[in-house]
Chain A
Amino acid sequence: MSDASFDVTANKTGSAPPQDAGFPDFFALLKPRVMSLVVFTALVGLLAAPVSVHPIVGFTAILFIAIGGGASGALNMWWDADIDRIMNRTKDRPIPAGRITEGEAFGFGIALSAISVVMLGLATNLVAAGLLAFTIFFYVVIYSMWLKRWTPQNIVIGGAAGALPPMIGWAAATGGISIESLLMFALIFMWTPPHFWALALFMKSDYDEAGVPMLTSTHGRRVTRNHILVYTILLVPVSFALLFTSIGGPVYLVAAVLLNALFLRGAWRIWNRDEVAADADEYATEKTVFKHSLYYLFGLFVAILIDAVLRSNDLLGAGPLGIWGI
């Protein structure tokens, strides 16, 4: 990555001339769509915890977890500006479009990282702040700077950064780490590879042209299809393990059965066809599985939330599944 120096004051060769950035451009640096997943999973982690949190403290915690996640997104855009210019999906981002300089993005990301970690520590506790700082470090340094352009396993290991928000939310409420928060982390960690590889199958040209070693180009699309099936099978026991903790409940049980069946069926269909069939229907199956993978994660976390609400209103009994006698 010789082109990604620490000279943050100037745009790299090939940039559009800088213009005055508006407020929405800085907001776009935070990757709002990624931030929405961070907010949602962190909120579930915070609300599912067996400790009640003052609403203002809870709001502050979620806000600064979101800002910390956004800051790591800004630093990722600063580091990846050179490949963002190449990929169709990213060439309209604020830096490649010339609306924000790389120096501005770097300063913005560093400042927000520091503010978010300090404010989360003041509002909640040092464990939550430490986890947020680790998340930012992991996403920017381990994933963006090291793994992303080096190994096709980039999103497997890098997925840890996206899996940490529910642990941070849980830690913000409880002040610690537990089997429940670790399993929520594991659920997102195991979900990320099949989700992202399904995307890589139908977004092939973007990553190839940018030189990002995705599994599809380094090991071939047949191997990627195999990996999607294997990782989805491995995801199933992880998702069911949550049932046997204090946050499992009947709603989660139903959701886990239905959503795992749906995701497994999709992974099986991806595995069971070749590129000729995929080209013929313009990757319809891969696109559907990618969409279903989003429903999968959203559905399971909504189920955790519903069970938490039922439990807080004494509508669920004791026992690992939250049902009397089980």
Chain B
Amino acid sequence: MAFFRKSHEMHTRRFSRNMGLGVVLAAFVALVFGLTIAKVSQEDFAVPDTAKGVGYGESD
């Protein structure tokens, strides 16, 4: 089974680089999520008209 296959020497050699990149990407996802929450939580936040879609406000 591939799961138990011994790592290629290159993977061992590049472990710290790949691990670092993985952590950076995870942190980037968390940052974008946090930024989104911060933006939509601000008092002056409003959904742009162009993003409201068809039928928005028809019941008003």
Which A residues lie at the B interface, using CB under 8 A?
20-23, 26, 54-57, 60, 63, 122-123
**Residues in B neighbouring A57, C-beta threshold 8 A:** 35, 38-39
The answer, yes or no, to whether B17 is at the interface (CB within 8 Å) is yes
**Residues in A neighbouring B21, C-beta threshold 8 A:** 23
> Which of A21, A55, A60 sits near B31, CB closer than 8 Å?
A60
> Which of A21, A54, A122 sits near B17, CB closer than 8 Å?
A21
25 pairs across A/B with beta carbons < 8 Å?
A20-B13, A20-B14, A20-B17, A21-B17, A22-B16, A22-B17, A22-B20, A23-B16, A23-B17, A23-B20, A26-B20, A54-B38, A54-B42, A55-B38, A56-B34, A56-B37, A56-B38, A57-B35, A57-B38, A57-B39, A60-B31, A60-B35, A63-B31, A122-B35, A123-B35
B residues 1-46 touching A (CB-CB < 8 Å): 13-14, 16-17, 19-21, 31, 34-35, 37-39, 41-42
A-B interface contact total, Cβ < 8 Å = 30
Tell me the bound Cα distance from A57 to B39 in angstroms.
Answer: 8
Tell me the bound Cα distance from A56 to B36 in angstroms.
Answer: 10
A100 to B: closest C-beta gap in Å: 11
Closest to B23 in A: A23
Interface size on B, residues (CB 8 A): 15
Closest to B31 in A: A60
**Residues in B neighbouring A63, C-beta threshold 8 A:** 31
Closest to B18 in A: A23
**Residues in B neighbouring A123, C-beta threshold 8 A:** 35
Closest to B20 in A: A23
A66 to B: closest C-beta gap in Å: 13
**Residues in A neighbouring B19, C-beta threshold 8 A:** 23
B15 to A: closest C-beta gap in Å: 9
Tell me the bound Cα distance from A122 to B39 in angstroms.
Answer: 10
**Residues in A neighbouring B14, C-beta threshold 8 A:** 20
**Residues in B neighbouring A55, C-beta threshold 8 A:** 38
Tell me the bound Cα distance from A55 to B31 in angstroms.
Answer: 12
Tell me the bound Cα distance from A21 to B35 in angstroms.
Answer: 32
**Residues in A neighbouring B38, C-beta threshold 8 A:** 54-57
**Residues in B neighbouring A23, C-beta threshold 8 A:** 16-17, 19-21
Known interface pairs A23-B16, A23-B17, A56-B34; 14 further A-B residue pairs with C-beta atoms within 8 A, sorted by A's residue number: A20-B14, A21-B17, A23-B20, A26-B17, A26-B20, A54-B38, A55-B38, A56-B35, A56-B37, A57-B38, A57-B39, A60-B31, A122-B35, A123-B35
A152 to B: closest C-beta gap in Å: 40
B41 to A: closest C-beta gap in Å: 8
**Residues in A neighbouring B37, C-beta threshold 8 A:** 56
Tell me the bound Cα distance from A22 to B21 in angstroms.
Answer: 10
Tell me the bound Cα distance from A55 to B34 in angstroms.
Answer: 10
Tell me the bound Cα distance from A63 to B41 in angstroms.
Answer: 21
